[in-house]
Structure 1
Amino acid sequence: MKILVIQQKMIGDVLASSVICNNLKLIYPDSQVDYLVYPFTVPVLENNPNIDNIILFEDAYRKSKLALFKFLIAIRKRKYDLVIDAYGKLESNLVVAFSGAKTRIGFYKPYTNYLYSETVKEIINPITEAGTALENRLNLLATLAPNAKLKNKPRIFLTEKEIANGKAILVKNKIDFSKKLYMISVVGSSKNKTYPFLFMAKLLDKIVEKNQAILLFNYMPSQEKEARAIFDLCQPKTQENIKINVVSGSIREFLSITYHCDALIGNEGGAVNMAKAINKPTFTIFSTWIIKEAWNSFENEKSNVSVHLKDFRPELYGQNSAKELKNEALKLYEFFIPNLLFTKLESFLENN
């Protein structure tokens, strides 16, 4: 059987949907499982034994209708038996339509249902510790294996060489391994997903005050100015403990370094999901507009902990969901003061 899984989105989404690939290999051990993703998300899929081929949706397919048409024809020529669309947007709709697959599974939407042979309605409230982002993806497999015991945790597969390289980078930078070492997701993927700079600085001050930990910053090259601005707002003692020049050169290098950290702390996003996929404890600060129940996977109040403004100030949201207040995200951040987080943070630091 030839199977295509589609997830054309961000790193966290691609990693989450990789559980579909992992479980398809459990259900159909002899199948060929291909995964269609954007090129920049490939690092979280490398060495995954459950994915036979990674198919790239190149940026050129957006810019040229001819390039897109040729790509869609190439997909059809692969003659897939089963297509699972975890994305559900126009790009993936086109892939499904052109695939020619007999079985086409996707999420229920009244305006695209005709493209699929089977659809699944997304749940709003989580049933398990995995959270709705993962549960909804696994529900796409429900009709294929109704009684199967599915594995709900995404995994990233690091090689021994990569792990050793991460350790070598830390040794080269004279990291003191007798102290706690935390990776800090210091800047979010956008302004409305970034904990305010001054608040983040106070959080880092608290961490160093609590256990004199060594801190590493994770950020994209384009975010260096923002990362240094947060560094400048920290107390001198905290600055001494931040190794700001230890910067990952790639996503795989970030993973190899994080592997040797005691935990990852900071803004919710791809870095948090990646850390969980290599079994690292996480303390996650959710953006004021993100729905926590979707992405707070495997929380246990010990090794995986998260905080959301709505947990502390529900009256600010009224009857609205967090996502409905996306345009108010920055204003809501003003209420998300560090003191609200400190009790949970201190408990997390004691355990990790």
Structure 2
Amino acid sequence: MKILIIRFSSFGDVVLTTPVIRAIKEKYPEAVIDFIVYNTFSEAISLNPKIRNLMIFDKRKSKDRNYIKDIINKLKIENYDYVIDLHSKFLSRIIGKSLENKNNQYCRYKKRKWWKTILVKAKLITYNADCTIVESYFTPLKKLGISFSDKNIKNGLGDNLEFYIDKKMEEEFIQKYDLKNGSYFVLAPGASKFTKKWPYYDELAKKILQNESKFVKNNEKLRIFVIGGKEDANVVKADGDGRVIDLCGKISFKESGILLKYAKAAIVNDSGPFHIARAVKAKTFVFFGPTDPKLFSFEKNTFLLNNPNCPPHSLYGDDKFPKKYADCMTGISVETVFEKIIKEYDDQKLKKKMKNKKKKERKTMKIIAFETSCDETSVAVVEDGKKILSNIISTQIDIHKEFGGVVPEIASRHHIENILPVFTEALEKANCQLSDIDYIAVTNTPGLIGSLLVGLMFAKSLSYANNIPLLPVNHINGHIFSSFIDNDVKLPAISLVVSGGHTNLYYIYEENGKIITDLLGETLDDAVGETYDKIARILGLEYPGGPHIDRLSVNGEDILKIKKPKVDGYNFSFSGIKTFITNYVNNQKMKGNAISKEDIAKSLQEIIVNVLYDKILMAVKEKDVKTILVAGGVSANRRLREKFSEFKNIQTNEGNQVEVHFPKIEYCTDNAAMIGVAAYYDLKNNSQIKLEKQYDVDAISTKN
């Protein structure tokens, strides 16, 4: 699907199109999106990774018929399926209609009814927004099956705008102006119309600097940066000691975005910098005079400054005030604005104190956990190591099926796409905010390095930005503690972790109030899950192979009677089993004999399950344990669970029956709930995890 979006101007309105672009890519990930914009406003949308081509229209030639014709001819070559007109004026309609044919559709957003516009412009009625600008931009998307959702508004994200900055430019600009500590305000006194400009920015700047101790620590110096066009220069006068830095007309739109991103707060009019500030998630105080604030969904950190005696009375602002609304902006005093800023900072300090107090008083412990070690993106909220408030998993199984295994680079890319929505959903389902979270847990090893890094970077960023302690968790340890979620585990115990990348046996016991986990044995070659996948591939079964082998074995016979590998101690070896079955299948094919997939599946099941059973039986007798724990993806195997139920007939030296605990099916495969539970026990019991070897999950494509 190829889509062209038209929005020529202005800075703010172009930024307001980003939720539309995001919605299209979420609905149609393979869609190709091109965007056409005036050259003077291209910075507002450049670097957006969701756009293939950013087409620049020279604003000076907007009335040049030949130039317009050339642009249309170039666009026709692309054969767009949809042309989305978010400008909806004469020029955009000419281009959109010229591209329309029987193979594509031209869709434009509907502005307010023409007669209302005339009455507002004539000042016969006040302005009353029917909906937000972003919501109106979604109207032409109905033909694509996309509708506006207020989910972001409910979550306090407002319009959830996007603005992209080159990393190298950002680093250089931060260094040039020493922005790291963020001890500065940004003032943007400009606006497209005179009536949208608040006239007292200079007085406000002086007031802020006179009271800098309210905003910074004793050893810090508060600064004020002023941004805007050349016409806005000297609106805020320099104070003589370098604390007011006037950059109006001196920096680019992108550089203004960098300033806003790291500022303590931005104080702006209803103008382009207002929308950039929102897009970079800056704390923003915004003046609204003649225009209607209901045109936008404000974020939680956006604060309205307006004159309650001045209702919205203009579409875009005017060159002069009507007598009736002469004090629309002058009626907003410096003292009123300063008090609102101070109140917000005082409220922020109070909230921080209350948050810390609540954490001290709160008896429960909430942990948000992240798991991205292989091909599942999972986020969970766990309370007190037992109660799973949410456990959201986004799997990539269908994506990797065609490759016969997990492709690390593809897995990493999908983690990047999935982690934010999965994180948001996990908090929503848990009915929590980040302020309710005591710790952040994240899988740090073992796993695919690219996949691990996505979860680690996301969790570390959350930890840093919200001052929440970060807990690294070993992936295998997570599997071990998955059995603790719904079970009252009695120690000492034997724990078998059996999955696509691991087959490990552990002895778990308590010592001086600490839970100790010792590694008894491990696979010397292939893991059980890996063996299942490779035999399944030989039999022509889809990835992952374990569930298919399990299903087929129900109707099969153990015709191969494979001998158990001779491996000393508690270690395992499954490569010989894999080789035996591979040779058997190849020999039968060479002889032209039919192969029973059911019988091979049954033979594989029996030998693997019996090997695991015998090793655990040996450990139970030698260690005199009370409990057997089985975890990992293969622990969902029907035959494994059936065979291991026989352990319930074994008694300990004390005459007690051995308990066998499997996790629920949802906690068998990779999930964040188990990571949160493991982190809880690490904290609660000061656990010492003795994993004698760091494993790498060898989950790569072996197709062809």
TM-score band by shorter chain is: 0.7 to 0.9
Gapped runs of 5+ residues in structure 2? 115-127, 153-158, 214-221, 350-704
Aligned to 1:292: 293
Q: 1:48 to 1:139 in 2, by over 3 A?
A: same
Q: 1:24 to 1:219 in 2, by over 3 A?
A: same
Q: Are 1:306 and 2:304 counterparts?
A: yes
1:77-156 superposed matches below 5 A: 77-101=77-101, 102-108=104-110, 124-126=129-131, 132-146=132-146, 152-156=159-163
CA deviation profile, 1:245-292 (whole Å, cap 9, x unmatched): 697521122222333222211222111111111111111112x21122
Shift of 1:59: 2.5
Q: Distance in 2 between matches of 1:258 and 1:346?
A: 19
CA contact (8 A) 1:179 1:214 kept: no
Secondary structure of the residue aligned to 1:141 is helix
Q: Are 1:35 and 2:35 counterparts?
A: yes
1:229-248 superposed matches below 5 A: 229-231=235-237, 241-244=243-246, 248=250
Correspondence for 1:344 among 329, 333, 340: 340
Q: Give the AA of the match of 2:161.
A: P
Q: Are 1:266 and 2:268 counterparts?
A: yes
Secondary structure of the residue aligned to 2:79 is coil
Q: Give the AA of the match of 1:58.
A: D
Shift of 1:48: 1.0
Aligned to 2:173: 166
CA deviation profile, 1:67-111 (whole Å, cap 9, x unmatched): 212222222222111011111100111011101252221133789
Shift of 1:240: 5.3
Larger C-alpha radius of gyration, 1 or 2? 2
Aligned to 1:70: 70
Q: Are 1:10 and 2:10 counterparts?
A: yes
Q: 1:201 to 1:274 in 2, by over 3 A?
A: same
What TM-score, normalized by structure 2, do the two folds share?
Answer: 0.41
Aligned to 1:120: none
Correspondence for 1:331 among 326, 333, 338: 326
Q: Are 1:21 and 2:14 counterparts?
A: no
How many percent of aligned residue pairs carry the same amino acid? 18
Q: Give the AA of the match of 1:321.
A: H
Q: 1:229 to 1:328 in 2, by over 3 A?
A: closer
Aligned to 1:189: 192
Secondary structure of the residue aligned to 2:20 is helix
Moved more, 329-338 or 145-154: 145-154
Q: Distance in 1 between matches of 2:315 and 2:46?
A: 32
Aligned to 1:48: 48
**May I ask how many residue pairs the two structures share in their alignment?**
313
CA contact (8 A) 1:84 1:104 kept: yes
Q: Distance in 1 between matches of 2:73 and 2:248?
A: 45
Correspondence for 2:223 among 205, 214, 232: 214
Q: CA RMSD in A?
A: 3.0
Moved more, 324-333 or 49-58: 324-333
Q: Are 1:202 and 2:194 counterparts?
A: no
Aligned to 2:652: none
Moved more, 274-283 or 97-106: 97-106
Aligned to 1:254: 256
CA contact (8 A) 1:214 1:241 kept: yes
Which structure is higher in RCO with an 8 Å CA cutoff and minimum separation 6?
1
Q: 1:211 to 1:192 in 2, by over 3 A?
A: same
Shift of 1:28: 1.3
Q: Give the AA of the match of 2:344.
A: F
Shift of 1:241: 2.7
Moved more, 203-212 or 48-57: 203-212
What TM-score, normalized by structure 1, do the two folds share?
Answer: 0.78
Secondary structure of the residue aligned to 2:171 is helix
Q: Distance in 1 between matches of 2:256 and 2:334?
A: 27
Shift of 1:140: 2.9
CA contact (8 A) 2:227 2:247 kept: no
Secondary structure of the residue aligned to 1:321 is coil
